[in-house]
Each structure stands twice: as structure tokens, then as C-alpha cells.
Structure 1
Amino acid sequence: MRILILGGTTEASALAALLTDSSDFKPLVSMAGRTSDPRPLPIPTRIGGFGGVEGLARFLERERIEAVVDATHPFAAVMSRNAAEACAQAKVPLLALRRPPWKPQDGDRWIDVASTVEAVHALGEAPRRVFLTVGRLELASFATAPQHTYLVRTIEPIGNALPVPNVIAIRDRAPFDEAAERALMERERVDVVVTKNSGGAATYPKIAAARALGLPVIVVARPDKPHGVEEVASAEAALDWLERLHGRTP
């Protein structure tokens, strides 16, 4: 069975690893190409977009894809919508592999917002030291609040994505460690953390560290994803879905 995995997450990598030695599946992972040095995967990988819904539908038909697993980032709303529409057009089964969002625990000081624009407003007017972990592509919103000092952590260089006077840029890649996150926040005298609700264990240590330090965390909610798409929360569950689908295929 020819499988297309729309990747870019830890879960996509985990599913790729599970499919590596399977003789029942011929998987392909597609990456958006926003990271210049992605971790190598043990199965064939393509880089780049498809050209919208129509382009993806043509790709599915041309490559005779028999199932698609949307394992994109929880905030990749456009790609998920395109996948749902393209799979409906091409009549290809679609599964969403979506990690659960984080939930506030006792001791958390969360401020829930709907967007990075709302996150900027939530910072307030008084200058603060902000640990900003929303990804390079979302930094522009914070240029409207240049009074803050921003500690920005990204995988790629931020370039001029945040043109404000006080920026401390850190390049690093998950997974992170709670003790190291706490030490970083203490060393940089962080007042507040801003993050997307990405979910997963790899970047959760910043949430735990903020809780331990009593710091507020401004949490950007996930965008809406397509309704009516079957959904699982783990690579193992995605593999079970594929195996059931394979068993029903003549």
C-alpha cells in the first residue's frame, strides 16, 4: 500500500520508523521545507509544497497514493485543510495524527489567547523580559511591542524577523530538559513565557519550568482543523489504522 505522510512532527518521525521494515507499505514522507536541516528519516522523503488542493489531488492520483496520514504541526492549518479537500477529491482515505494539546495543571499561571496578536496585547505596555517560543514565522507580530526584551528560541536563524532593539536569539532544537529550561529562565531573568499550545513532551519542559518558577505563560490556542477527519493521538494508533485499511484493500 502506497502511503503519504504529511510530516514535520515527532509523531511523523515515529510513524516513519514503525513503517521502515514493513513489507505491507510503501511510505513517503513529505516535508514543507521550512527547516533547512531537518532530521533524516528512514524512509523516502520529499521536500516542498504541492501547489494547493488541486496540486495535492493530482499528486495523489499520479503517485497512486492509497492512504494519507496528516502528521503536520498542530498549527499547520492550511496544509490540513488542503489535505482534507484533496483526499476528498481523489477519494483517498485520510487520517489525522494529532498530538493532544497541553492542559493547565495546578500551579500554572496560564493566559489563554487566540492568536499571536492577542499575545502581544496580553504582554501589556510595561517593559518585560519575554521568553518567546512561537516559531520564526510568528515573530513579526511582536515587532509592534518594541519596549520588551525578547529571548527568542528557534531552529532557524531569525534574521530580521523581529526588528526591535532588544533581542537575544537562541538556536536550539527539542527535546528540552526541565532543569535546563529553568536555569535558562533564571539566568535571563525571564518575566513571562509566550508559546503556542503545540502539545507533546519534547517542548513541555518550558511549561513545567515556568510553573516551578511561578511565571505566567501566555498560551496561543490551536487553530481549527478540518472536521469529519478520523483522528488518532499516537504513531502506534496510526499504524493500527493503516493495517486495518490494508486488510480491507483487495
Structure 2
Amino acid sequence: MILVLGGTSDSLAICDELNKDVNKSYILSVTTEYGKDLASIYSKNIILGKLTKDDMVAFIKENNIETIIDATHPYAVEVSKNAIECSKITNIDYIRYERKSLIEDITYKNIFVVDDIDEACEIANEKGNTIFIGTGSKNLNQYIEKVPNKKLIARVLPTSEVLISCEKLGLNGDNIIAMKGPFSQCLNEETYKQYKIDLVITKESGVAGGFLEKVLACEKLNIPVVIIRREKINYPSVIHDIKQITLVL
């Protein structure tokens, strides 16, 4: 049995590949109801909820898991670290699907590549007034705290849970764009123009996350971009092509 750690469109594409092979039985783990709804099209064997390290070890043993496929978000580093450790504890295989980094492919010069949100906020305070937060809803509280006296525009998933969390942070309809991506370069350009954005903060999310489309839109409008790079993890085994997944199992 395979345990697929999901939460991205990549994980659904991996499930699609596994579905083509009748010998590849798997369980898909997701953390949100929204993720479960999306995943239900691809898999009938889904577990919902966050797995702690102890939870994961117990689950592996109870379900005779032989391989973990880690297709979590590139920035969900704690989950990946736990999964690696759990694979060692239980002596099973671990495979990481990692989106290819696109930073080296960018030719636009008006970019600032940083290691964390603190550095991103320092640049935002210095260079921005109306700042587009393209990193999702998870860490919005940090931007609100560390970038005061600026107008923040956050693009987030259009779910009630996310919108309520935004409102609790003091954001309202003037600060929230509730849409599901990925987004085209054209749509990003129109969004930046509509909201008079003068600085964009994004993560190095890869092709599936619409990363280049955000940067290209900024280049077209000459808007500076702050890119939060991924934390480097020493994965035991990594693939960058979803089509390879059944070949390495």
C-alpha cells in the first residue's frame, strides 16, 4: 500500500498516474475539506486531517504502508521533514515529488529573492504601498503585523473557512480577492492594474502554481517582485516528472 501525502494539484496528477496501474493501491492524505472535495474525483480512498509524526507512524503500521509519496506543497516543509523521519522509523521507502525551481529561468531584473517572510516584509516596507500578497492565506497574520500602514491585497481560496480567517485578521472586501488559481498572465496583469499594485510578494511555487505568470505580469507592468524561495531539504529520493512516479515504485 502507498501513502500519498497530498494538498497540491501535483498530488492529484500523481493519483491519476497511479490509477492507470491496477497494481498500485494507495491512500491519499489531505488536510482540508476543500482538498478532499477536489481529490474525490481521483480517489475513493482518502483520509482527512493533519497527521502528526506519531499519527503517521501509527497509520503506516496499521495500513501496511510500504512507500510514502510526498506531494505536499513546496512550503509545507515540516510535513516533509516528518514524513522523511517516519519513513526511517518504519523502514519504508520515501519519494518526494518536487516542482522544478523556475527562479533561474527568470530574466526580469526587478526581483528580490529572499529566504523568508521577514525579509519579504522588510522589502515591502521599503518599496511598496499597495502590496499584493500572492502566497495564500496561511501566513497573512505575519504580513499584517510586519507591514503596517500599507494597503495589503491578498488573493486567497474562495472558501468560507479562509474568508472567515481573513476577516478575523481585520481584512475586508477591499483587501481580499477570493479566487482559485492558477491564473494566467493576462488575468494577473488586469488584477494588478485594477488594484493599483506597486509590489508583489509570491512564493517559488513552480509551474503548477502559476508562478511564472505572476512574474511575467509584473515584468509587463514594471512592478517589483519579492520571491520567497523554498527551504532546501535533503530528500532521500526526489523526482521532478510526475510521469516517472510508477517507474520508481
TM-score > 0.5 by shorter chain? yes
If the length of structure 2 is used for normalisation, what is the TM-score? 0.88
Within 2, Cα distance between the matches of 1:38 and 1:125?
Answer: 41
Q: Compare the two structures and name the one with the higher helix fraction.
A: 2
Is residue 206 of structure 2 the alignment partner of residue 196 of structure 1? no
Runs of at least 5 residues in structure 1 that lack an aligned partner in the other structure: 243-250
Within 2, Cα distance between the matches of 1:96 and 1:152?
Answer: 29
State the match for 2:2 in structure 1. Answer: 3
State the match for 2:11 in structure 1. Answer: 12
Contact 1:148 1:166 in 2 (8 A): no
Flag the 1:213–1:153 CA change in 2: closer, same or farther, 3 A: same
State the match for 1:116 in structure 2. Answer: 117
Within 1, Cα distance between the matches of 2:172 and 2:6?
Answer: 35
Which letter does structure 1 place at the counterpart of 2:81?
Answer: R
State the match for 1:229 in structure 2. Answer: 236
User: What's the CA shift string for 1:127-160, capped at 9, x where partnerless?
Assistant: 6111111121111111232211111101131434
Runs of at least 5 residues in structure 2 that lack an aligned partner in the other structure: none
Within 2, Cα distance between the matches of 1:217 and 1:127?
Answer: 10
Contact 1:146 1:165 in 2 (8 A): no
State the match for 2:245 in structure 1. Answer: 238
Within 2, Cα distance between the matches of 1:37 and 1:185?
Answer: 31
Q: What SS does the aligned partner of 1:179 have?
A: helix
Residue identity over aligned pairs, in percent, reads 21
If the length of structure 1 is used for normalisation, what is the TM-score? 0.88
Q: Superposed, which structure 2 residues align to 1:13-28 within 5 Å? A: 13-28=12-27
Q: CA deviation at 1:167?
A: 4.8
Q: CA deviation at 1:36?
A: 6.6
Aligned CA RMSD, in angstroms, stands at 2.1
Flag the 1:202–1:222 CA change in 2: closer, same or farther, 3 A: closer
Within 2, Cα distance between the matches of 1:228 and 1:183?
Answer: 39
Worse overlay, 41-50 or 2-11: 41-50
Within 2, Cα distance between the matches of 1:125 and 1:215?
Answer: 14
State the match for 2:100 in structure 1. Answer: 100
State the match for 1:83 in structure 2. Answer: 83
Within 2, Cα distance between the matches of 1:198 and 1:129?
Answer: 22
Within 2, Cα distance between the matches of 1:198 and 1:75?
Answer: 8
Q: What SS does the aligned partner of 1:132 have?
A: strand
Q: What SS does the aligned partner of 1:23 have?
A: coil
Within 1, Cα distance between the matches of 2:34 and 2:22?
Answer: 30
Flag the 1:65–1:165 CA change in 2: closer, same or farther, 3 A: closer
State the match for 1:45 in structure 2. Answer: 46
Q: Superposed, which structure 2 residues align to 1:91-170 within 5 Å? A: 91-104=91-104, 105-125=106-126, 128-144=129-145, 145-155=147-157, 156-157=162-163, 158-160=165-167, 162-163=169-170, 167-170=174-177
Contact 1:95 1:232 in 2 (8 A): yes
State the match for 2:221 in structure 1. Answer: 213
Within 1, Cα distance between the matches of 2:33 and 2:76?
Answer: 12
Contact 2:4 2:70 in 1 (8 A): yes
Worse overlay, 12-21 or 89-98: 12-21
Flag the 1:127–1:147 CA change in 2: closer, same or farther, 3 A: farther
Q: CA deviation at 1:173?
A: 1.1
Which letter does structure 2 place at the counterpart of 1:232?
Answer: I
Contact 1:149 1:167 in 2 (8 A): no
